[in-house]
């Protein structure tokens, strides 16, 4: 585990971009291509602003992402497919982008996505930490046991409140009740995990992730057991350490 603390979210985004781009270039040099797993949300915005400027052979990169709401159209402002398409995919044009699709036949969508994901391991995974300690949409108590790559989950109230707080939705009633998420075990199969976690609102989750008992009630705590995990914080998110 490697922990890096920068002064603010802007400096954190630049540092994260440097680390991520280096890891992607390393994977391309070693394997001829790279597979990346991307997080979304307000905490990742500064990083993507920097990452799209990096000199990377994006045509050798395949992208997956972590989660998506069930029943939310891609045109909705809170859609994670829309988020990544507008902020990443349409700007760097990777070799392939595999989206989590929460519309239509969800079981079929999961099966097709899982088949693609399991062809080759993820080289670089960006895994955020939620205010309730979740990774992806694995809210506490998270399922640490399933071998499924993507699972259907119910969102807890604190998770929904975070989405409203970040202004993706205008009220709690608008937040979907369910989502598709990559499972904890699947996340942990990634060769390298990088977590970008700025802002004061994440301070308690960061403290619990690093100091709490490793287990389903603090889903992000499992990251401490990964062999190549880098945690990037700003002074605000690190304030309770």
* Lookup result for tokens 């979907």: 176
Summarize pLDDT for 19-66 with one digit per residue, the tens: 999 999 999 999 999 999 999 999 999 999 999 999 999 999 999 999
* Stretch 3-22: mean pLDDT: 97
The pLDDT tens digits for 66-121 are 999 999 999 999 999 999 999 999 999 999 999 999 999 999 999 999 999 999 99
For the chain, what are the domain ranges? 2-234
| pLDDT value at residue 104 | 95
For the question of whether the overall pTM of this predicted structure is more than 0.85, the answer is: yes
Q: What pLDDT is attached to residue 172?
A: 94
d(CA 133, CA 19): 23
Q: Which residues of 134-159 are buried (b: 16+ CB within 10 A; e: fewer)?
A: bbbbbbbebbeeeeebbbebebeeeb
3-class DSSP assignment, residue 128: coil
* Topology classification of domain 2-234: Rossmann fold (3.40.50)
3-state secondary structure (DSSP) of residue 215: strand
Residue 194 and residue 124 in contact, taking contact as beta carbons nearer than 8 Å: yes
């Amino acid at each position: 585990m490697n922990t890096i603390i920068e002064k603010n979210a802007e400096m954190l985004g630049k540092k994260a971009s440097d680390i991520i781009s280096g890891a992607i270039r390393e994977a391309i040099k070693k394997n001829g291509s790279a597979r990346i797993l991307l997080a979304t949300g307000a905490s990742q915005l500064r990083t993507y602003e920097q990452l799209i400027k990096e000199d990377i052979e994006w045509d050798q990169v395949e992208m997956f992402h972590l989660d998506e709401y069930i029943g939310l159209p891609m045109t909705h402002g809170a859609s994670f497919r829309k988020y990544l398409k507008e902020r990443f995919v349409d700007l760097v044009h990777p070799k392939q982008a595999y989206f989590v699709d929460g519309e239509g036949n969800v079981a079929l969508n999961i099966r097709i996505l899982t088949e693609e994901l399991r062809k080759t391991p993820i080289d670089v995974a960006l895994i955020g930490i939620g205010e309730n300690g979740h990774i992806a949409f694995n809210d506490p108590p998270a399922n640490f046991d399933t071998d499924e790559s993507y699972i259907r989950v119910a969102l807890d109230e604190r998770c929904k409140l975070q989405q409203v707080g970040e202004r993706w939705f205008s009220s709690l009633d608008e937040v979907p009740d369910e989502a598709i998420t990559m499972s904890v075990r699947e996340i942990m199969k990634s060769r390298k995990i990088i977590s970008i976690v700025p802002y004061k609102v994440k301070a308690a989750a960061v403290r619990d992730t690093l100091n709490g008992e490793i287990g389903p009630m603090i889903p992000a705590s499992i990251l401490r057991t990964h062999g190549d995990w880098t945690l990037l914080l700003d002074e605000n998110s690190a304030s309770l350490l």
